Amino acid sequence: MDNSSLQSMAELNQARHAPEARELWSDTEGQISNAGLYLLCLLTFWLVVPVLYAGWRYLWTARHRYTLTDQRLLIESGVLVRDMESLELYRVRDLSVQGTLLQTLVGRGRIVLQTTDVTTPVVSLNAISNAKAVAQLVRDAVERCRVDKGVRAFDV
């Protein structure tokens, strides 16, 4: 056997014996993010298309799920076809908490993660309940993951 196949077999064996990821937090995107659309549909309820679109947005938002484990952030979305995006926590560089006035009034907010991931350099968790506490949970999980993997973040 050559060196690369031995290395591949070792990685597979290590993955089999790796501890399962522990779920720390899970939530869906809040429907408050569709409040403007729902108001518009209420004003134009006699038209069929806005009501159908509002129903679609309701389903889309209800099926948009965020799950934080001790190793990665998983984002599931889609109504008919499910899509799952995975972000390794050690790739998170910075995070911030934002929110609109309406989101703040109902106790929700947006968490924006700046990452070193090539495919998704910015990840936004929209309309999260108790966004400040969740952001602190994400930050703590990122730090623990970096320590466990021996990864350091450098600013260039």
Range 16-33 burial, b when 16+ CB lie within 10 A, else e: eeeeeeeebeebebbebb
**Is the residue at 60 inside a domain?**
yes
**Is the residue at 143 inside a domain?**
yes
**Is the residue at 141 inside a domain?**
yes
Q: How many domains does the chain have?
A: 1
pLDDT digits (tens, 9 = 90+) for 41-80: 888 877 888 888 999 999 999 999 999 999 999 999 999 9
Residue 78, domain CATH: 2.30.29.30
Token pair of 1 as six digits: 């056997």
Domain span at residue 43 reads 21-149
**Is the residue at 51 inside a domain?**
yes
Angle between helices 35-43 and 48-62 (to 10 degrees): 160
Token pair of 127 as six digits: 């309309």
**Is the residue at 8 inside a domain?**
no
Residue 144: closest CA among 14, 28, 21: 21
Q: According to DSSP H, which parts of 18-130 are helical?
A: 35-43, 48-62, 101-105
**Is the residue at 81 inside a domain?**
yes
Mean pLDDT per 10-residue run, the chain (156 residues)?
A: 53 55 92 89 84 92 95 94 94 94 91 93 94 96 92 70
**Is the residue at 135 inside a domain?**
yes
The DSSP 8-state label assigned to residue 33 in this structure reads G
CA distances (Å), origin 112, targets 1, 127, 131, 138: 46, 11, 10, 11
Query: Residue 41: CA atoms inside 13 Å, Cβ hemisphere, count?
Result: 16
**Is the residue at 11 inside a domain?**
no
pTM as predicted: 0.80
